[in-house]
Amino acid sequence: SSNIRLAVIPGDGIGTEVVAEGLKVLNAAGVKSETTEYDLGARRYHASGETLPDEVLDELRGYDAILLGAVGDPSVPPGVLERELLLRLRFELDHYVNLRPVKLFPGVATPLGQAGPEDIDMIVVREGTEGPYAGAGGVMRRGTPHEIATQESLNTAYGVERVVRYAFEKALARPRRKLTLVHKTNVLTYAGDLWARTVDRLSLEFPEVETDYCHVDAASMFFVSQPQRFDVIVTDNLFGDILTDIGAAVAGGIGLAASGNVNPARTAPSMFEPVHGSAPDIAGQGKADPTATILSVAMLLDHLGHAGTAARVEQAVADDLVERQSAWTARSTREIGDDIAARVAG
């Protein structure tokens, strides 16, 4: 098969370090790829004021997929890189599914004393292009005692239906076939009603899938107290952001949490990235765990039709994680990448 044409955005902080290991494993897996690096993030913003120039965005549209490390730095005002780069990529490339597995691998320590791998194995299908992330809102009389600031969640039948449909399909393909909608229908009545009606309506098309509903507050609690409740979860952009960080915490930490910003209609490339940020405090020290990026590479491979290779990468990670628990010393970012690459190369 032909080369994967891959755009790589290493970004800031540990982003560069973990992406190098992700690419190392991709190469070791024997899938041919051609990568082009894009310098985007805090460094470029400080150097030129640019976040995501239109020409760069247009070029990115031409790739098969994008691999992103992490962007952000405390020196940049909050929201600038998020809204103008990260979220703009997700919105412009129509990444309406933000796919986030929450899975406890054998051998991985969880803060939950009683939970094992059989208890934590779910996929969160987070909406990626609308809801409270739309950027709608405003401010009036800023800085005065009469200031008001608003923030609006925009939800469309079009946007909700397509992500709910995707979630039903995911649920159908898994052994438990259970889909839970998470929202806050008792308070956010307009948006909640749209989400709940959409799940009800589509459930008629997927009679094999059992559906359930859980308020976001209760779901957040159950992630800790009864993670077994969940198989596939579908939820809005903001609730999904929160839930998947709780998920990362219970499944062994943010160093293991992978994600895909997926455009299932394939009208633009999908983008894969670890859930963690740029962690400027540990950047450049070889301390970052590249595992989340490597698992994101596995998701990328799966998305591009290399399911077998993806499974091999995931298995290599799983084996590495089992060995990790009995290791005497912590390995560096590069050593972890080397070890997983060696396993993948086989």
Ligand X SMILES: CC(C)[C@H](C(=O)O)[C@@H](O)C(=O)O
Q: Which of 119, 178, 184, 212 is catalytic?
A: 184
Two tokens at 125?
A: 């299908």
Q: Cβ(271)–Cβ(90) under 8 Å?
A: yes
Q: What is the DSSP string of 5-38?
A: EEEEEEESTHHHHHHHHHHHHHHHTT--EEEEE-
- Alpha-carbon distance of 177 to 224, in angstroms, equals 22
Buried b (16+ CB within 10 A) or exposed e, 135-156: eeeeeeeeeeeeeeeeeebebe
Q: Which of 64, 94, 231, 241 is catalytic?
A: 241
Our answer to whether residue 236 is catalytic in this structure is: no
Our answer to whether residue 184 is catalytic in this structure is: yes
Three-class SS state of 74? coil
Between 186 and 267, CB nearer to ligand X: 186
274 counts as binding a second copy under rule CB under 8 A? no
- Alpha-carbon distance of 20 to 314, in angstroms, equals 17
* Interaction pattern, residues 196-235, with ligand X; x per rule: CB under 6 A: ---------------------x------------------
Instruction: Name residues contacting a second copy, limited to 228-267 (CB under 8 A).
Output: 238, 241-242, 244-246, 248-250, 253-254
Our answer to whether residue 302 is catalytic in this structure is: no
132 counts as binding a second copy under rule CB under 8 A? yes
Q: Which residues contact 54 (CB under 8 A, 6 or more apart)?
A: none
Question: Which of 140, 187, 221, 224 forms a contact with ligand X (CB under 6 A)?
Answer: 187
Q: Cβ(137)–Cβ(114) under 8 Å?
A: no
Question: Which of 36, 48, 75, 151 forms a contact with a second copy (CB under 8 A)?
Answer: 151
Query: Which helix (H) or strand (E) is 197 found in, with range?
Result: helix 189-203
Our answer to whether residue 241 is catalytic in this structure is: yes
204 counts as binding a second copy under rule CB under 8 A? no
Q: Which of 245, 319, 338, 339 is catalytic?
A: 245
12 counts as binding ligand X under rule CB under 6 A? no
31 counts as binding ligand X under rule CB under 6 A? no
111 counts as binding a second copy under rule CB under 8 A? yes
104 counts as binding ligand X under rule CB under 6 A? no
Three-class SS state of 100? strand
Going from the C-alpha of 10 to that of each of 71, 93, 229, 299, the distances in angstroms are 8, 18, 36, 17
112 counts as binding a second copy under rule CB under 8 A? yes
| Residues of the shown chain interacting with a second copy in the complex, contacts defined by CB under 8 A | 78-79, 82-83, 87, 110-115, 132-133, 135, 137-139, 141, 143-158, 161, 184-194, 196-197, 216-218, 220-225, 238, 241-242, 244-246, 248-250, 253-254
Q: Provide the binding-site residues for ligand X, judged by CB under 6 A.
A: 82, 86-87, 186-187, 217, 241, 275
